Chain A
Amino acid sequence: AQSVTQPDIHITVSEGASLELRCNYSYGATPYLFWYVQSPGQGLQLLLKYFSGDTLVQGIKGFEAEFKRSQSSFNLRKPSVHWSDAAEYFCAVGPYNTDKLIFGTGTRLQVFP
C-alpha cells in the first residue's frame, strides 16, 4: 500500500539553527514527491517537488530536499531557520500515473527566538 510517514510530530528549533524534517514513503515504483507548508488561515503552499533527475531539489524560501531511493526518503532541509518558518509541514506522494496525493501526518515546526 502507498503511504507516507513523517516520524516527527513536533519539532522545536532556535532561530538560525539548521532544520531537517524527515519523510519516508512506501511505493512500488518511483513516485512524485512533494513538500507543502501550511500556515494558519492559508492554503497549502508548495515548497518543492521531485519528479526525476537531480536528487537534490531546491525549493522556495531557502528549503531543499534530497531524494534517496535506497532509503525511500525525501527529507526536507534548511540551513538557517527563520521565525516565519513556524508552520505545519506535509510531505506528499503522487503516483506517476494518477494525480492523487497521499499526505503524511505532518510535522509542526516551532521556532524560538
Chain B
Amino acid sequence: GAVVSQHPSWVICKSGTSVKIECRSLDFQATTMFWYRQFPKQSLMLMATSNEGSKATYEQGVEKDKFLINHASLTLSTLTVTSAHPEDSSFYICSALPLVAGGPQETQYFGPGTRLLVL
C-alpha cells in the first residue's frame, strides 16, 4: 500500500528556534498534502492544505507566517515551525492525496506523525 513518511519522528527544541518537519510520499506522487495538528486526547485539526507548486491554503486561525509550508515536489512537503514556543508543542501529522486521473475522491494516506516539544 501507499506509504507516507515523516521526519523526524520526534524533536525537542528550545523556545525561539525553528523546526522543519518533512513529509514524503514514498511510492506515489501527491499534488496535495495536508498538515494536521493533534493535541493529546483530541482529534486531528487540519492546519493547511499544501499543493505542489503553489502557495499553501491555511485554515482559519492558523498563522501562515508561523507555520511555513513548502511543497517543492510531488513527493515532498515541509512544515517549518518558526520561532517555536512551548504552546506549539504538539503532534503534527501529514497526509498525502495520490495523484489520480479522475474519478471519485481518492483516499488520503497518513504519515506516522512528528512529536514536537518546545522547551
Contact = CB atoms under 8 A, between A and B. Distances in A.
Contacts of B108: 99, 101
A58 B111 CA distance: 24
Given A96-B105, A103-B43, A105-B42, A43 B49 contact: no
Interface in A35-94: 36, 41-46, 49, 51, 90, 94
B101 to A, nearest CB: 15
Contacts of B9: 41
Interface residues of A, number: 23
A103 B107 contact: no
Query: Is the interface on chain B under 10, 10 to 19, 20 to 34, or 35 or more residues?
Result: 20 to 34
B78 interface: no
Contacts of B93: 43-44
Interface in A1-30: 9
A99 B105 contact: yes
A6 to B, nearest CB: 8
A49 B46 contact: no
Contacts of A105: 42-43
Interface of B: 4, 9, 32, 34, 41-46, 49, 93, 95, 97, 104-105, 107-113
